[in-house]
């Protein structure tokens, strides 16, 4: 087990390094897009962007910068896709036959029958996003959020009995999973605190106007890893032991430092697509 943990720590460090380079590339790409719009290197906006993305006084310059919302959303989805790609590739390194799915889902920010979490990005050999179904706010998504940490399905089957039942009843044309792991990224410097002021960026809350009690409390973004072979079950245990959910959150925070995302507006934009 110690050898497995040590090996996984090395893979995680490789993932962090790869994502650091990819984030740097996204910052350069954003500047190139703005330069293309302006047709010149001398634009004051381009100079400020260089200072914002690569200068030593990011916080001061940030007050002068207004990023293009749609380009930020596009960069955000590219970054999440890259994160899934890197993880899926690294986790499959030790065993080329390993089948694994790494994905993010997003909340539509709607209630009632439309209170769904839809597939956003996915990675894994042969995995297709159209094969992922929408999930309601229940089972392991809700259980993981309320627990405040990631959960493995097989250890927490009480939360996801319907998922196990549906998986068992799949016809032969559909791939059956073996186990899965679900986490809710905690985003922002104040993540983990409970006051309304300090709530993390990945959480939406509504309050009763009279009693101030919480009436809606849900995350916008969820993260999951699915395995399809019993031999890979220990992979989920090792990732859970290493708190991979916190590492994933930190890498998303690295992106949000340069490309702030208003998740409520982002969810609205996704609904309009």
**pLDDT score of 158 more than 60:** yes
Q: Would you state the pLDDT for residue 196?
A: 40
Q: Would you state the pLDDT for residue 154?
A: 94
CB 206 within 8 A of CB 215: yes
Q: Count other C-beta atoms under 10 Å from residue 226's C-beta.
A: 23
Read off φ and ψ for residue 51, nearest 5 degrees: -65, -40
Is residue 69 very low, low, confident or very high in pLDDT (cuts 50, 70, 90)?
A: very high
**pLDDT score of 145 more than 80:** yes
d(CA 224, CA 101): 8
- Select the more confidently predicted residue: 55 or 185: 185
pTM: 0.90
What is the SS3 assignment for 55? coil
pLDDT tens digits for range 109-119: 888 888 899 99
The rounded percent of the chain whose pLDDT value lies above 70 is 88
pLDDT tens digits for range 4-41: 899 899 999 999 999 999 999 999 999 998 877 665 55
pLDDT tens digits for range 190-249: 544 444 444 579 999 999 989 999 999 999 999 999 999 888 899 999 999 999 999 999
What is the per-residue DSSP string for 211-240? T--EEEEEESEEEEEEE-SGGGHHHHHHHH
Average pLDDT (249-262) is 95
- Select the more confidently predicted residue: 92 or 228: 228
């Amino acid at each position: 087990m110690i050898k497995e943990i040590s090996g996984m720590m090395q893979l995680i460090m490789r993932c962090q390094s790869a994502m650091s380079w990819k984030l740097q590339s996204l910052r350069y790409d954003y500047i190139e897009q703005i330069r293309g719009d302006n047709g010149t290197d001398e634009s004051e906006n381009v100079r400020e962007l260089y200072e914002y993305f690569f200068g030593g006084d990011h916080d001061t310059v940030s007050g002068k910068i207004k990023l293009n919302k749609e380009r930020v959303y596009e960069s955000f989805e590219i970054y999440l896709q890259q994160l899934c790609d890197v993880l899926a590739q690294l986790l499959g390194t030790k065993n080329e036959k390993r089948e694994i799915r790494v994905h993010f889902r997003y909340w539509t920010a709607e209630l009632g029958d439309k209170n769904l979490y839809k597939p956003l990005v996915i990675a894994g050999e042969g995995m297709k996003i159209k094969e992922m179904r929408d999930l309601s706010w229940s089972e392991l998504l809700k259980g993981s959020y309320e627990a405040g940490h990631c959960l493995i399905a097989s250890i927490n089957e009480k939360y996801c009995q319907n998922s196990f039942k549906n998986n068992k009843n799949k016809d032969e044309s559909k791939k059956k999973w073996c186990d899965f792991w679900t986490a809710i990224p905690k985003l922002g410097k104040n993540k983990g605190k409970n006051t309304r002021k300090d709530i993390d960026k990945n959480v939406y809350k509504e309050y009763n106007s009279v009693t101030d009690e919480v009436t809606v409390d849900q995350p916008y973004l969820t993260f999951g890893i699915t395995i399809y072979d019993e031999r890979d079950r220990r992979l989920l245990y090792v990732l859970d032991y290493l708190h991979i959910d916190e590492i994933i959150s930190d890498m998303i925070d690295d992106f949000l430092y340069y490309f702030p995302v208003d998740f409520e507006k982002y969810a609205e934009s996704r609904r309009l697509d």
